[in-house]
Amino acid sequence: MRILYWGFFHLIQFTIFISVAASTTVDAFTGTYGINYGRIADNIPSPEKVVQLLRAAKIRNVRIYDFDHTVLQAFGGTGLELVVGLPNGYVSDMSANADHAMNWVKDNVQSFLPDTRIVGIAVGNEVLGNSDNQDIWGDLLGAVENIYNATKQLHLDDVVQISTAHSSAVFNNSYPPSSCTFKDNLMQYMKPLLKFFSQIGSPFCLNAYPFLAYMSDPQNIDLNYTLFLETSGIYDPKTDLHYDNMLDAQIDAAYAALEDMGFRKMEVIVTETGWASHGDQNEAVATAQNARIYNYNLRKRLALRKGTPLRPKIMARAYVFALFNEDLKPGPTSERNYGLFNANGSISYDIGFHGLKSSASALSLLSIEDIGVQGWSSPYSSIFTACTVALFLLLRL
């Protein structure tokens, strides 16, 4: 009996060692589903309440657009995995001064680890292709390099992934998907950026909105195609592939552009996607019904844990935009109505999540199905499973 116990003890030790060793590869996204936590609002819940909301919804992967310390502190000890943002206003300074980049990483990332699970830094947002940001196009790569080098010097490069998100404005024509290429005027910035990301193992991050694509050409785009509903879809004659939803086509358009540039192996991750639940008079499809359909079907699509037609072996992964309606955002009414939740923490519409509840229910145990679908699978869940199995076998002896 003692020999058997000793053997099982070493089996558990070995399983823990293998699982932890496997976790050293940087991956800022566990599972397939995440959410953007924007805070351009004066009426949303406190970060502590947001943590309760996220845990009740069993959403583990979270992106923020800055590095607010109250948020970083609130996420401490929660197990939620956080990508922090370096706003566009910091890009030029970080590019010009490596010491500033080092200090920023020390103050806003290293000082919160490991209690707060910061797994990524997004350097800028939709910098390239945006004419409003043209003055910093040439600074993006330098900022990315200096932030990465700071993480490397601090021995955080195997913990924190460096990336930047792009809008569809970086592409030429993306229909059909196989025809997509990067815009000529961005080549001098995009190619060296992609080369660096390829060297450090970072993905191509894409903000993809079928809602906006439909709004730009409603006469020629089938609404059902954008909402994951029954449709004839589109056919790409070059690849002989059929698409039954626009999001898959947008992802594969990015893969086609990357392949054209020589980066066929780079993964595409959708860092923003969503549908507005309310809009102006010229935004007729911005309704709660369409938003519910899109976001519900998006969850179902991602829960399949499958790839796209062009990259069937690479699981599609996406962060939905956004957690809350943000009442202070500028622009059309739709910009203030992407939230899955209202400012008071109640659901905007029902896609299977629950609003804020008591702390007891918010911290309820996760089901095995939830663990797989919502991203609560990690090397540590493997450890838990192995230990549970070993204990069960011991009790049977």
Catalytic residue IDs: 126, 272
Bond prior to 332 in cis (omega within 30° of 0): no
- Contact between residue 211 and residue 321 where contact means Cβ atoms under 8 Å apart: no
Paired residues of 272 in beta bridges: 207
3-state class (DSSP) for residue 235: strand
Which string of b and e fits 115-125 if b means at least 16 CB within 10 Å? ebbbbbbbbbb
Please choose, from the candidates 289, 363, 353, the residue with its C-alpha nearest in 3D space to the C-alpha of residue 324: 353
- Phi, psi at residue 39, to the nearest 5°? -135, 30
Alpha carbon distance 21, 158 (integer Å): 11
Two structure tokens written together for 98: 């490596």
Two structure tokens written together for 212: 């906006």
Mention every residue, 6+ apart, whose C-beta is less than 8 A from residue 17. Answer: none
Q: Give the number of residues written for the chain.
A: 397
Which string of b and e fits 4-43 if b means at least 16 CB within 10 Å? eeeebeeebeebbeebeeeeeebebbbbbbbbbbbbebee
In the chain, the amino acid numbered 89 is: G
Please choose, from the candidates 57, 24, 23, 71, the residue with its C-alpha nearest in 3D space to the C-alpha of residue 377: 23
Q: Is 226 left (phi over 0), alpha (psi -120 to 50) or beta?
A: alpha
Bond prior to 114 in cis (omega within 30° of 0): yes
Q: What is the number of other CB atoms lying within 10 angstroms of the CB of residue 335?
A: 15
- Contact between residue 41 and residue 343 where contact means Cβ atoms under 8 Å apart: yes
Rounded to 5, what percent of the chain is helix, strand, coil? 45, 15, 40
